[in-house]
Amino acid sequence: MVLFDIDKTLLKSARGHHLSFSEAFKKVFEVDADIDMIEHDGMTDQQIITEILKKNGIAEEEIKSRMAYCTAVMVDYFNEVVKDEKIIILDGVPELLEELEKNNILIGLLTGNLEPIARAKLVKVGLNDYFKLGGFGSDDMSRAELVKIAMVRAKDKFNFNGSVFLVGDTPKDMEAGKAAGVKNIGVATGKYSMDQLKDAGANFVIPNLKNKEEFLNIIR
Ligand SMILES: [Mg+2]
Protein backbone atom coordinates (compact mmCIF):
# COMPACT_ATOMS: atom_id res chain seq x y z
CA MET A 1 0.00 0.00 0.00
CA VAL A 2 1.19 3.50 -0.77
CA LEU A 3 -0.11 6.42 1.28
CA PHE A 4 0.29 9.87 -0.26
CA ASP A 5 0.40 13.26 1.34
CA ILE A 6 -1.58 15.80 -0.72
CA ASP A 7 -0.17 19.34 -0.48
CA LYS A 8 3.10 19.76 -2.38
CA THR A 9 3.27 15.99 -2.92
CA LEU A 10 0.33 15.44 -5.29
CA LEU A 11 -1.00 18.97 -5.73
CA LYS A 12 0.08 22.58 -5.38
CA SER A 13 -1.61 23.94 -2.27
CA ALA A 14 -5.07 25.40 -2.76
CA ARG A 15 -5.42 29.04 -1.71
CA GLY A 16 -9.02 28.48 -0.59
CA HIS A 17 -7.90 25.94 2.00
CA HIS A 18 -5.43 28.48 3.40
CA LEU A 19 -8.16 31.15 3.53
CA SER A 20 -10.65 28.77 5.13
CA PHE A 21 -8.60 28.90 8.35
CA SER A 22 -8.78 32.71 8.51
CA GLU A 23 -12.52 32.56 7.83
CA ALA A 24 -13.07 30.10 10.69
CA PHE A 25 -10.81 31.98 13.12
CA LYS A 26 -12.85 35.13 12.53
CA LYS A 27 -16.28 33.52 12.60
CA VAL A 28 -15.77 31.14 15.52
CA PHE A 29 -13.16 32.91 17.69
CA GLU A 30 -13.26 36.55 16.52
CA VAL A 31 -9.56 36.31 15.77
CA ASP A 32 -7.89 37.91 12.75
CA ALA A 33 -5.08 35.59 11.76
CA ASP A 34 -3.31 34.04 8.80
CA ILE A 35 -1.75 30.60 9.07
CA ASP A 36 1.52 31.87 7.56
CA MET A 37 2.36 33.28 11.00
CA ILE A 38 3.74 29.78 11.70
CA GLU A 39 5.69 27.21 9.67
CA HIS A 40 2.70 24.97 8.96
CA ASP A 41 3.93 22.66 6.19
CA GLY A 42 3.33 19.07 7.28
CA MET A 43 1.13 19.98 10.24
CA THR A 44 -2.40 18.60 10.54
CA ASP A 45 -5.27 21.06 10.20
CA GLN A 46 -6.28 20.65 13.85
CA GLN A 47 -2.66 21.27 14.91
CA ILE A 48 -2.54 24.45 12.81
CA ILE A 49 -5.83 25.67 14.32
CA THR A 50 -4.57 25.01 17.84
CA GLU A 51 -1.15 26.63 17.34
CA ILE A 52 -2.48 29.78 15.69
CA LEU A 53 -5.24 30.33 18.21
CA LYS A 54 -2.91 29.76 21.16
CA LYS A 55 -0.59 32.39 19.70
CA ASN A 56 -3.60 34.70 19.58
CA GLY A 57 -4.37 34.19 23.27
CA ILE A 58 -7.21 31.69 23.06
CA ALA A 59 -7.16 29.08 25.82
CA GLU A 60 -6.66 25.47 24.83
CA GLU A 61 -9.95 24.32 26.43
CA GLU A 62 -11.85 26.89 24.44
CA ILE A 63 -10.12 25.80 21.22
CA LYS A 64 -11.00 22.18 21.95
CA SER A 65 -14.61 22.92 22.77
CA ARG A 66 -15.14 24.77 19.49
CA MET A 67 -12.92 22.61 17.26
CA ALA A 68 -15.85 20.81 15.60
CA TYR A 69 -17.56 24.11 14.80
CA CYS A 70 -14.29 25.60 13.55
CA THR A 71 -13.59 22.70 11.16
CA ALA A 72 -17.22 22.73 9.97
CA VAL A 73 -16.87 26.41 9.03
CA MET A 74 -13.66 25.62 7.13
CA VAL A 75 -15.33 22.82 5.18
CA ASP A 76 -18.35 24.98 4.29
CA TYR A 77 -16.08 27.80 3.16
CA PHE A 78 -13.87 25.50 1.09
CA ASN A 79 -16.84 23.80 -0.58
CA GLU A 80 -18.04 27.27 -1.53
CA VAL A 81 -14.75 28.47 -3.05
CA VAL A 82 -13.41 25.22 -4.54
CA LYS A 83 -15.32 25.70 -7.78
CA ASP A 84 -13.21 28.79 -8.51
CA GLU A 85 -9.93 27.28 -7.30
CA LYS A 86 -7.11 26.62 -9.69
CA ILE A 87 -5.58 23.47 -8.23
CA ILE A 88 -2.47 22.29 -10.04
CA ILE A 89 -1.51 18.62 -10.20
CA LEU A 90 2.24 18.08 -9.83
CA ASP A 91 4.11 16.55 -12.76
CA GLY A 92 3.87 12.79 -13.19
CA VAL A 93 1.15 12.26 -10.57
CA PRO A 94 -1.72 10.99 -12.78
CA GLU A 95 0.62 8.66 -14.66
CA LEU A 96 2.09 7.28 -11.43
CA LEU A 97 -1.34 6.67 -9.86
CA GLU A 98 -2.50 4.90 -13.00
CA GLU A 99 0.60 2.71 -12.97
CA LEU A 100 0.19 1.80 -9.28
CA GLU A 101 -3.45 0.91 -9.84
CA LYS A 102 -2.51 -1.26 -12.83
CA ASN A 103 -0.07 -3.09 -10.55
CA ASN A 104 -2.84 -3.74 -7.99
CA ILE A 105 -1.21 -1.61 -5.34
CA LEU A 106 -3.61 -0.24 -2.76
CA ILE A 107 -3.46 3.57 -2.84
CA GLY A 108 -4.41 5.77 0.08
CA LEU A 109 -4.01 9.27 1.49
CA LEU A 110 -2.07 10.44 4.51
CA THR A 111 -2.85 14.08 4.88
CA GLY A 112 -3.28 16.71 7.54
CA ASN A 113 -6.22 18.08 5.52
CA LEU A 114 -9.69 17.58 6.94
CA GLU A 115 -11.18 14.70 4.93
CA PRO A 116 -13.94 16.72 3.18
CA ILE A 117 -11.34 19.30 2.06
CA ALA A 118 -8.90 16.59 0.92
CA ARG A 119 -11.62 14.86 -1.08
CA ALA A 120 -12.93 18.11 -2.57
CA LYS A 121 -9.45 19.01 -3.85
CA LEU A 122 -9.02 15.59 -5.46
CA VAL A 123 -12.53 15.56 -6.93
CA LYS A 124 -11.80 18.96 -8.45
CA VAL A 125 -8.73 17.61 -10.29
CA GLY A 126 -10.32 14.25 -11.15
CA LEU A 127 -8.01 12.06 -9.05
CA ASN A 128 -10.23 11.19 -6.09
CA ASP A 129 -11.23 7.68 -7.21
CA TYR A 130 -7.67 6.37 -6.98
CA PHE A 131 -7.64 6.78 -3.20
CA LYS A 132 -9.55 3.95 -1.54
CA LEU A 133 -8.87 4.98 2.06
CA GLY A 134 -6.74 7.25 4.18
CA GLY A 135 -5.82 8.94 7.41
CA PHE A 136 -6.98 12.57 7.51
CA GLY A 137 -6.56 15.69 9.62
CA SER A 138 -10.16 15.26 10.75
CA ASP A 139 -9.28 11.89 12.34
CA ASP A 140 -6.63 13.06 14.81
CA MET A 141 -4.20 15.88 15.63
CA SER A 142 -1.12 13.69 15.39
CA ARG A 143 0.18 12.73 11.96
CA ALA A 144 1.71 9.50 13.28
CA GLU A 145 -1.75 8.49 14.57
CA LEU A 146 -3.15 9.13 11.10
CA VAL A 147 -0.79 6.53 9.65
CA LYS A 148 -2.00 3.97 12.18
CA ILE A 149 -5.63 4.85 11.45
CA ALA A 150 -5.05 4.38 7.70
CA MET A 151 -3.47 0.98 8.36
CA VAL A 152 -6.44 -0.14 10.47
CA ARG A 153 -8.79 0.95 7.69
CA ALA A 154 -6.74 -0.96 5.12
CA LYS A 155 -7.04 -4.08 7.26
CA ASP A 156 -10.77 -3.67 7.96
CA LYS A 157 -11.79 -2.71 4.46
CA PHE A 158 -9.37 -4.66 2.27
CA ASN A 159 -7.91 -7.24 4.65
CA PHE A 160 -4.57 -5.65 3.81
CA ASN A 161 -1.59 -6.66 5.90
CA GLY A 162 1.43 -6.02 3.64
CA SER A 163 4.16 -3.41 3.39
CA VAL A 164 3.23 0.25 3.71
CA PHE A 165 5.03 3.16 2.05
CA LEU A 166 4.37 6.75 2.98
CA VAL A 167 5.10 9.48 0.44
CA GLY A 168 5.49 13.08 1.59
CA ASP A 169 7.34 16.34 1.09
CA THR A 170 8.10 17.45 4.66
CA PRO A 171 10.20 16.27 7.62
CA LYS A 172 6.92 15.97 9.56
CA ASP A 173 5.68 13.36 7.07
CA MET A 174 8.91 11.40 7.52
CA GLU A 175 8.74 11.62 11.33
CA ALA A 176 5.15 10.36 11.29
CA GLY A 177 6.02 7.43 9.03
CA LYS A 178 8.97 6.52 11.19
CA ALA A 179 6.89 6.65 14.38
CA ALA A 180 4.27 4.41 12.78
CA GLY A 181 6.90 1.95 11.52
CA VAL A 182 6.31 2.28 7.77
CA LYS A 183 8.78 2.94 4.94
CA ASN A 184 9.17 6.59 3.98
CA ILE A 185 9.62 7.98 0.49
CA GLY A 186 10.60 11.64 0.63
CA VAL A 187 9.78 13.69 -2.45
CA ALA A 188 11.46 17.09 -2.80
CA THR A 189 8.58 18.94 -4.47
CA GLY A 190 7.90 21.11 -1.42
CA LYS A 191 10.11 23.40 0.65
CA TYR A 192 12.52 20.69 1.71
CA SER A 193 15.51 19.16 -0.04
CA MET A 194 16.22 15.47 -0.47
CA ASP A 195 18.96 15.78 2.20
CA GLN A 196 16.60 17.36 4.70
CA LEU A 197 14.05 14.61 4.09
CA LYS A 198 16.71 11.96 4.51
CA ASP A 199 17.82 13.52 7.79
CA ALA A 200 14.21 13.45 8.99
CA GLY A 201 13.90 9.71 8.38
CA ALA A 202 13.25 9.10 4.69
CA ASN A 203 14.20 5.57 3.64
CA PHE A 204 14.21 6.70 0.01
CA VAL A 205 14.31 10.15 -1.55
CA ILE A 206 13.31 11.26 -5.03
CA PRO A 207 13.23 14.73 -6.62
CA ASN A 208 9.59 14.44 -7.81
CA LEU A 209 7.03 11.83 -8.89
CA LYS A 210 7.84 11.96 -12.61
CA ASN A 211 9.83 8.74 -12.85
CA LYS A 212 7.27 5.98 -12.34
CA GLU A 213 9.77 3.18 -13.02
CA GLU A 214 12.06 4.46 -10.28
CA PHE A 215 9.08 4.67 -7.93
CA LEU A 216 7.96 1.12 -8.72
CA ASN A 217 11.50 -0.13 -8.20
CA ILE A 218 11.52 1.39 -4.74
CA ILE A 219 8.33 -0.30 -3.65
CA ARG A 220 9.37 -3.60 -5.19
MG1 LIG B 1 2.77 18.24 2.07
Residue-level pLDDT, tens digit, the chain, 220 residues: 999 999 999 999 789 999 999 999 999 999 999 999 999 999 999 999 999 999 999 999 999 999 999 999 999 999 999 999 999 999 999 999 999 999 999 999 999 999 999 999 999 999 999 999 999 999 999 999 999 999 999 999 999 999 999 999 999 999 999 999 999 999 999 999 999 999 999 999 999 999 999 999 999 9
Q: How far, in Å, from the CA of 1 to the mean position of ligand 1?
A: 19
State pTM to two decimals: 0.97
Q: How far, in Å, from the CA of 182 to the mean position of ligand 1?
A: 17
- Quote the CA–CA distance of 216 and 151 in Å, as a whole number: 21
Which domains, ranges and CATH numbers included, belong to the chain? 2-13+87-219 (3.40.50.1000), 15-84 (1.10.150.240)
Q: How far, in Å, from the CA of 197 to the mean position of ligand 1?
A: 12
Q: How far, in Å, from the CA of 114 to the mean position of ligand 1?
A: 13
The residues whose Cβ lies within 5 A of ligand 1, an ion, are 5, 7-8, 169
Question: Which residues, including other chains, have CB under 8 Å from residue 206's CB and lie 6 or more apart?
Answer: 185, 186, 187, 188, 194, 214, 215, 218
